[in-house]
């Protein structure tokens, strides 16, 4: 008969799980149990506190819908999404552009737009041009690479946060030309607060964090035989660029809008220039920490 106590319980659980047929599942759950048990021991977790934790996780699940993914938001505010991105980057065969978070507002099947087209249905502020090249790691342009974009409007809202996401807006997909060049028109997005009306927002407020993300544009870039790139570009003059609530900002992903860019393809608009580099395809799978919310709700 096993005599279980606060230390022997861990090995007893690990022993029961050790017959798991899938070796990767076995490894992940073994580590998860060891760390969870150590966490509970370290803080001397009480029954009442763990019940609060279970209530919190239940509320996170209930807050998730086909247009809102509260668990991705939780992963983001805990820095876990950024950590997993960094681990994924370390596995790359070649170093391309740095990755950043997919976030909870990506949607499948964004509309195709022609090169130079606008991704904004009804702009209320002057448009800006976003342009550059998609290249391999040697600087050769990748013809026909697809550049998928999603962002907030000038008020800091995604389409999913307006009219229940009925209209796709402020998102689109452009295809690079034969030299790997892309350009499109958009508005400068406003930085925004993560949703504070759910359990994750309440946690962030209890931690006295401001909850803001700096102004940014999301990108998902793909081309055959190249590693899919999930990243975002951040406007360097935003007040929250040094304190992003979800830890997505890297120095290499900072951009600015210029009125005097001599190379812009649309001279009468302010321009933001950025070249993306894609590494060779390897077998580590997607770098998407997240998904279209509709794909994550059973």
Residues near Fe ion (CB under 5 A)? 103
Residues 76, 48 contacting (CB under 8 angstroms): no
Q: How far is the CB of 210 from Fe ion (least distance, A)?
A: 16
- E strand or H helix at 172, and its extent? strand 171-175
**Closest to Fe ion by CB, 103 or 132:** 103
**Closest to Fe ion by CB, 172 or 279:** 172
Q: How far apart are the first and last CA of the chain?
A: 41
**Closest to Fe ion by CB, 116 or 156:** 156
Alpha-carbon distance of 38 to 35, in angstroms, equals 5
**Closest to Fe ion by CB, 145 or 233:** 233
Residue nearest to Fe ion (CB): 103
Alpha-carbon distance of 98 to 251, in angstroms, equals 10
Q: How far is the CB of 193 from Fe ion (least distance, A)?
A: 11
Q: How far is the CB of 281 from Fe ion (least distance, A)?
A: 26
Q: How far is the CB of 293 from Fe ion (least distance, A)?
A: 13
Token couple for 196 = 């504070």
80-90 helix and 70-77 helix, angle to the nearest 10 degrees = 70
φ, ψ of residue 276 to 5 degrees: the values are -105, 140
Q: How far is the CB of 103 from Fe ion (least distance, A)?
A: 4
DSSP code, position 281: P
Cα 204–209–212 angle (5° rounding)?
A: 90
**Closest to Fe ion by CB, 171 or 226:** 171
């Amino acid at each position: 008969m096993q005599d279980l106590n606060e230390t022997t319980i861990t090995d007893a659980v690990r022993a029961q799980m050790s017959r798991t047929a899938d070796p990767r599942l076995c490894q992940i759950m073994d580590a998860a149990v060891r760390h969870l048990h150590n966490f509970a021991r370290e803080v001397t977790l009480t029954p009442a506190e763990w019940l609060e934790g279970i209530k919190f996780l239940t509320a996170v699940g209930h807050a998730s819908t086909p247009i809102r993914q509260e668990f991705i938001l939780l992963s983001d505010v805990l820095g876990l999404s950024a950590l997993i991105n960094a681990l994924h980057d370390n596995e790359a065969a070649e170093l391309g552009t740095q990755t950043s978070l997919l976030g909870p507002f990506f949607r499948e099947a964004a509309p195709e737009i022609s090169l130079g087209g606008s991704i904004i249905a009804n702009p209320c502020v002057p448009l800006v041009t976003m342009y550059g090249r998609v290249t391999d790691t040697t600087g050769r342009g990748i013809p026909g690479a697809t550049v998928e974009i999603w962002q907030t409007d000038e008020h800091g809202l995604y389409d999913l946060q307006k009219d229940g996401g009925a209209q796709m807006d402020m998102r689109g997909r452009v295809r690079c030309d034969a030299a790997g060049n892309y350009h499109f028109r958009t508005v400068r997005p406003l930085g925004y607060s993560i949703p504070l009306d759910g359990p994750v927002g309440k946690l962030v407020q209890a931690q006295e964090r401001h909850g803001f993300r700096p102004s940014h544009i999301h990108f998902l870039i793909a081309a055959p035989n190249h590693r899919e790139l999930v990243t975002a570009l951040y406007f360097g003059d935003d007040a929250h660029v040094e304190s992003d609530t979800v830890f997505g900002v890297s120095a290499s992903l900072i951009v600015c809008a210029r009125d005097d860019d001599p190379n812009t393809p649309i001279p009468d608009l302010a321009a933001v220039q950025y070249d993306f580099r894609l590494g060779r395809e390897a077998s580590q799978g997607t770098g998407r920490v997240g998904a279209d919310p509709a794909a994550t709700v059973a």
